[in-house]
Structure 1
Amino acid sequence: MPVDNHDHDHQDRFEERLGEALHQAGGAYETDRRALVAAGETRGHRLLLRRRAAVVAGVASVALVGLGGALLVPGGDDGRQSVATGAKTPVASATPKASYTGDELIGILEKLLPRGEFSSPQARGTDDRLPPYAQVVHDDGKGKAAVAVGFDRVLPGSEQARQTVECPDKVLTPYDGCVVSRLSDGSALRIFQGYEYPDRRADTKLWTADLVTPKGQHVSVSEWNAAAEKGAPVSRAEPPLSPARLRTLATAAAWLGVVDAIPVDPKAPTAAPAQPSGIDGGAIASTLVSLLPKGVKVVARSGPDSGYAYVVVDDGKGRSLVQINVQPNMSDVEDQLFGAGAETLADGTKVVTHKEPGEKGGAGVVMWTADTLRTDGFRVVVSAFNSGSQETAATRDAPALTTKQLRAIALSAKWRGLG
């Protein structure tokens, strides 16, 4: 895997997790029609549903307030583990350098890892236009495993900083464990134990540790139970570093000096933008439940994420995920969403329905959607799946709701009362 091959699967996957800096350098998401239909495009062009399923981006009940403030760890029944205190505080490097080469980063990483054999080193130094990283294949005698560490900066108090240290919603991103800790200096650390493929089409495990300091320094460690994250057979039952060792590696003193050596973009914002005031997700979920047809039972629902909600329903034939976005001021995407085949109602509202494969890759999953746009740009788009999650295989032939029922939900006058 050459370091300068930016189209390689590894580059795409690993650098995506490093944050917005890479997007600005050419790795930005491209908005397509299905993404718009499935999730909607919020102000700032954030693909709500697609990014919720990412490891870094998720709908979470764990919220970090400004990174320097309190870490809120509410209880939940999704199997998530959360820890608020007791973690080690990273200490700045005693001998900071102006820059680091890729070879130096490889040397630091190998020194910090347990004893073993190392091969296939890859790295990029701090003077490159893209964020620095280092990766090696480590063999401790129990099987080869890829281990990588990446570095960038996030804006303190920003949505990106918050999402980096959140545990994703298990309905949207299946995983085995997630722990969020607040360190004594106000830094936040997330330890995540999941899978390279959330739909489990391969047994490759992906465990990560993300550290974000109050200054916005971001250190991201990733490890797999294979010699490569994709395309390599599983070589051991689990990645080599336990959650405790992941924590130790992510909080190593040397890494903060690497982040500090990354050149500062003079055009980068210096303050987090005010978050747009969207429609409360809790109110959306409650309204959605009130509009469901008789005979379906709600077995799970989302938290209060702005503008978005989901429920998982069961009509006796298996679980079915139903998700919805309620968004004002969406007239600017009308041409992308509603083509010549769209229906226009007497009041000018545009309606379109779709039956498509599920976009996340779960085997046999289909997505049925009703998308509506009022004349003032008020959009309601609702989708149903033939599985309780987009990431898992289909559990039934069709979604629990028909496109006619989805259409009726999207056109309900109740949504106007929310925004």
Structure 2
Amino acid sequence: MPAQQQSDPFEDRVVAELRDAGGQFDADAYALTTAGLARGRRLRLRRRAAVVGGAASLALVGVGGALLLPGGGSDPDPSSVASKPSATATVPPVSGQELISTLKEQLGYGKFSQETGRGTEDAPYAWLVWDDGDGGSVVSVSMDRVEPGTEQTRQWTECPDKTFTPYDSCRTSRLDNGSVLRIFQGYEYPDKREPTKHWTADLITPKGQHVAVYEWNAEAEKGSPVTRENPPLDAAELKKLVTAPAWLTAVDAIPKEDKSSLASPEETAAPTSDIRKTLVDLLPDGLTPVSRGGDESGWGYVVVDDGKGKSLVEINVQPNMGDLLGESIFQGAEEVGDGTMLVTREDAGDKDVSGTVRWTVDTVRINGLRVVISALNAGGPHDAPSRDKPALTMEQLKKIALSSKWGPSREESQTGQKNSDQG
């Protein structure tokens, strides 16, 4: 980041994540199809979005799957991203300048520049460029309060799926006081189109105190030449910094939130294990699964190999999506069987890697159940093509998408309702 700009890295990070994760937001068929698949990966996007300061999260919502910030709108105003306090904290507030001073004290030496921070009254963080003598690097610390044991908390303490997030090292450990620590050493761009490395440390205590340290081997998070081979702090030094007691004191100074105001209804989706198992059960003969995964949103994937190269197959099963039938994404759709609408797409995948081919079948049933399945001619979205075409044909993808194993047909739903009424 040029020194004369001095923009808020929190805002910059949100904008960058929106641009990187969404790519483009034009309401065309390509973007909408991609959004249908990416919607199932929103937990992974939220994990990356946590980098901006812990309190921000991204969600894929709405018909078009557009990325929206909590509170509505697309303007990355930190005041709209941060959750608003409803009660006064019992610990005195800590200012942004105090957090910057603490970060500098913890680092201990070198030259500091481009310092910025925000206090505990509103999504606290400290951000600066640190030159330890071997090259300037961005180092930042953010703090927030989380609910232990929740899915969101697990996102910060588990290592990401390497199929979608390549990295060099990731380790999770439990400390003597019961806190969980994750040290992650990866890249700013998963496809490594730039050599910028992004290393993080996340600490979550049994009380729900969350401290996150982020560092890069460049003087900006994106779009800046690297200044060194690796970020300045190794795994042991990241652990020492993220576990400094001063950060926990700052977390305690964050005003407590009204949990009832933060509650949001969860979507109903098939269990992750069922999604994966069903997808594997429906694969054509001759395809050997080499890896699989998914999340609680109704999204799953399997990487298959028929002896001719790896092929990524993704599926997203979404209830209550009947409104899509009135949108442009289903214009010209084919009606199949019991009123299910089906469209097909052919494109180059999310990352538009040279030579990549993706085939997609998108369906919405009369009861609103949407099943989207795609196959790629590569083992992952960031991988180079391993074969000329995906391992599954479009007809095979249609057969999987239309399977009754994803949910009851209209006749089955009506029969079930009738039996319930009679009972």
- The TM-score by the shorter chain falls in which range? 0.7 to 0.9
Deviations 1:46-68 (A, max 9, x none): 9322542565489xxxxxxxxxx
- Alignment partner, residue 166 of structure 1: 158
1:194 to 167, 186, 195: 186
Determine which structure has the larger helix proportion and give its number: 2
User: Is residue 2:139 matched to residue 1:147?
Assistant: yes
- Look up the SS of the partner of 1:269 in the other structure: helix
1:313 to 304, 321, 340: 304
Amino acid at match of 2:13: H
User: Is residue 2:123 matched to residue 1:120?
Assistant: no
Cα distance in 1 between the residues matched to 2:254 and 2:18: 15
User: Is residue 2:206 matched to residue 1:246?
Assistant: no
Q: Are the structure 2 counterparts of residues 204 and 272 from structure 1 closer, same or farther at C-alpha, using a change threshold of 3 Å? A: same
What pairs with 1:241-390 in structure 2 (closer than 5 Å)?
241-266=233-258, 268-269=259-260, 278-302=269-293, 305=296, 307-336=298-327, 338-360=329-351, 362-390=353-381
Bigger CA drift: 372-381 or 300-309?
300-309
Amino acid at match of 1:246: L
Q: Are the structure 2 counterparts of residues 275 and 190 from structure 1 closer, same or farther at C-alpha, using a change threshold of 3 Å? A: farther
Amino acid at match of 1:137: V
Contact 1:199 1:393 in 2 (8 A): no
TM-aligned CA deviation for residue 111 of structure 1: 0.5
TM-aligned CA deviation for residue 114 of structure 1: 4.3
Q: Are the structure 2 counterparts of residues 14 and 252 from structure 1 closer, same or farther at C-alpha, using a change threshold of 3 Å? A: farther
Contact 1:322 1:384 in 2 (8 A): yes
Q: Are the structure 2 counterparts of residues 138 and 148 from structure 1 closer, same or farther at C-alpha, using a change threshold of 3 Å? A: same
Cα distance in 1 between the residues matched to 2:246 and 2:352: 39
- Alignment partner, residue 133 of structure 1: 125
Deviations 1:190-212 (A, max 9, x none): 11111000011011111001112
- Alignment partner, residue 37 of structure 1: 33
Cα distance in 2 between the residues matched to 1:109 and 1:15: 28
Cα distance in 2 between the residues matched to 1:191 and 1:36: 35
Contact 1:353 1:370 in 2 (8 A): yes
Q: Are the structure 2 counterparts of residues 126 and 250 from structure 1 closer, same or farther at C-alpha, using a change threshold of 3 Å? A: same
Bigger CA drift: 193-202 or 140-149?
140-149
Deviations 1:126-160 (A, max 9, x none): 334xx121111112222221111112222333321
What TM-score, normalized by structure 1, do the two folds share? 0.76
2:99 to 93, 105, 115: 105
Q: Are the structure 2 counterparts of residues 171 and 178 from structure 1 closer, same or farther at C-alpha, using a change threshold of 3 Å? A: same
What pairs with 1:197-208 in structure 2 (closer than 5 Å)?
197-208=189-200
Contact 1:6 1:12 in 2 (8 A): no
The alignment yields a C-alpha RMSD, in angstroms, of 3.4
- Alignment partner, residue 64 of structure 2: none
User: Is residue 2:180 matched to residue 1:184?
Assistant: no
Contact 2:91 2:253 in 1 (8 A): yes
- Look up the SS of the partner of 2:260 in the other structure: coil
TM-aligned CA deviation for residue 8 of structure 1: 5.6
Cα distance in 1 between the residues matched to 2:290 and 2:133: 45
Task: Work out the number of aligned pairs and report it.
Answer: 364
Deviations 1:245-265 (A, max 9, x none): 111111110011222223334
Bigger CA drift: 327-336 or 104-113?
327-336
Cα distance in 1 between the residues matched to 2:148 and 2:16: 24
- Look up the SS of the partner of 2:330 in the other structure: coil
- Look up the SS of the partner of 1:47 in the other structure: helix
Deviations 1:82-114 (A, max 9, x none): xxxxxxxxxxxxxx9622222211110011014
Amino acid at match of 2:175: L
- Look up the SS of the partner of 1:302 in the other structure: strand
Amino acid at match of 2:307: G
TM-aligned CA deviation for residue 308 of structure 1: 2.4
Amino acid at match of 2:161: D
Contact 1:187 1:213 in 2 (8 A): yes
Bigger CA drift: 373-382 or 274-283?
274-283
Cα distance in 2 between the residues matched to 1:333 and 1:247: 47
Amino acid at match of 1:263: P
Cα distance in 1 between the residues matched to 2:18 and 2:360: 32
TM-aligned CA deviation for residue 393 of structure 1: 3.0
Contact 2:8 2:116 in 1 (8 A): no
Cα distance in 2 between the residues matched to 1:151 and 1:318: 44
- Look up the SS of the partner of 1:249 in the other structure: helix
Q: Are the structure 2 counterparts of residues 311 and 180 from structure 1 closer, same or farther at C-alpha, using a change threshold of 3 Å? A: same
Q: Are the structure 2 counterparts of residues 168 and 357 from structure 1 closer, same or farther at C-alpha, using a change threshold of 3 Å? A: same
Amino acid at match of 1:385: L
Bigger CA drift: 242-251 or 283-292?
283-292
